[in-house]
Amino acid sequence: MTLIIQSDEILDLCNKLKSEKFICVDTEFIREKYYHPKLCLIQIGDSKGNGWAIDPLIKNINLQPLYELFLNVKILKVFHSPRQDFEIIFNILNKIPKPIFDTQSAAMACGFGDSASYESLVNNIVNINLDKSARYTDWQVRPLSKKQIDYAISDVTHLSKIYTYLCEEMIKNNRLDWIKEEIHKFFDLSIYVTEPANAWKRIKFFSSNKITMSVFKEIAQIREELAKSLNVPRNKIMRDDIIIKLAKNPPKDLTELDELRGMNLKYMNSSHKTLILKSIETGKKNNNTDWLNNNVKNNNVSKAVIDILKIILLSCAEKYNISPLLIANREDIKHIAQGKKDVKALKGWRYEIFGSSALKLIEGSLTLTVKDGSVIIE
What CATH number is associated with residue 28?
3.30.420.10
What whole-number distance in Å separates Cα of residue 69 and Cα of residue 77? 9
Last residue of a domain, one of 266, 296, 326: 296
The answer, yes or no, to whether residue 296 has pLDDT greater than 70, is no
pLDDT score recorded for residue 294? 63
Share of the chain above pLDDT 70, in %: 97
The C-alpha atoms of residue 376 and residue 378 are separated, in whole angstroms, by 6
Boundary (domain end) residue, out of 251, 280, 296: 296
- Give residue 15's domain range: 3-192
Given a cut of 80, whether residue 331 has pLDDT beyond it is yes
* DSSP E strands, the chain: 3-4, 22-30, 38-45, 51-54, 76-79, 100-102, 368-371, 374-377
Rounded Cα distance, 157 and 48, in Å: 8
Q: Which residues contact 285 (CB under 8 A, 6 or more apart)?
A: none
How high is the pLDDT of residue 295?
A: 63
Rounded to an integer, what is the distance from CA 303 to the centroid of its chain?
Answer: 27
* CATH number of the domain that residue 321 is part of: 1.10.150
- Torsion sign over Cα 111, 116, 121, 123: negative
311 with 233, same domain: the answer is: no
Pair 135, 226 in one domain: no
CA–CA gap between residue 26 and residue 41 (Å, rounded): 9
pLDDT value at residue 219:
96
Last residue of a domain, one of 192, 216, 231: 192
pLDDT exceeds 70 at position 360: yes
Task: Enumerate the H helices of 137-269 as residue ranges.
Answer: 146-157, 159-172, 176-183, 210-230, 234-237, 240-248, 254-259
Tell me: do 159 and 284 sit in the same domain.
no
Statement to judge: residues 97 and 214 lie in one domain: no
Residues 30 and 127 in one domain: yes
- Is the domain of 132 the same as that of 161? yes
pLDDT over 70 at 241, yes or no? yes
Q: Do 58 and 183 belong to one domain?
A: yes
- Are 14 and 128 found together in one domain? yes
Q: Are residues 125 and 180 in the same domain?
A: yes
pLDDT tens for 85-138 read: 999 999 999 999 999 999 999 999 999 999 899 999 999 999 999 988 888 899
* 146 plus 234 within the same structural domain: no
Q: How far apart are alpha carbons 216 and 209 in whole angstroms?
A: 11
Q: Are 60 and 143 in contact (CB under 8 A)?
A: no
Q: What is the pLDDT of residues 41-97, one digit of tens each?
A: 999 999 999 999 999 999 999 999 999 999 999 999 999 999 999 999 999 999 999
| Higher pLDDT, residue 374 or 298 | 374
Mean pLDDT in residue range 176-182: 89
Mean of per-residue pLDDT scores for the chain: 92
Please determine, for residue 288, whether its predicted confidence score (pLDDT) is greater than 90. Answer: no
**Shared domain check, 224 and 345:** no
**Residue 299: pLDDT band with limits 50, 70, 90:** low
Taking phi first (over 0 means left), then psi (-120 to 50 degrees means alpha), and beta for anything else, what does residue 225 get?
alpha
Span 298-305, average pLDDT:
77
Residues 55 and 82: their CA atoms lie apart, in Å, by 19
The mean pLDDT value for 163-190 works out to 93
Alpha-carbon span 140 to 39, nearest angstrom: 8
pLDDT at 367: 82
From CA 293, how far away is CA 273, in angstroms rounded? Answer: 29
Report d(CA 165, CA 82) in Å as an integer. 19
* Statement to judge: residues 342 and 308 lie in one domain: yes
pLDDT 10s digits, 189-227: 999 999 999 999 999 999 989 999 999 999 999 999 999
CA 297 vs. chain centroid, Å, equals: 26
Q: Total domain count for the chain?
A: 3
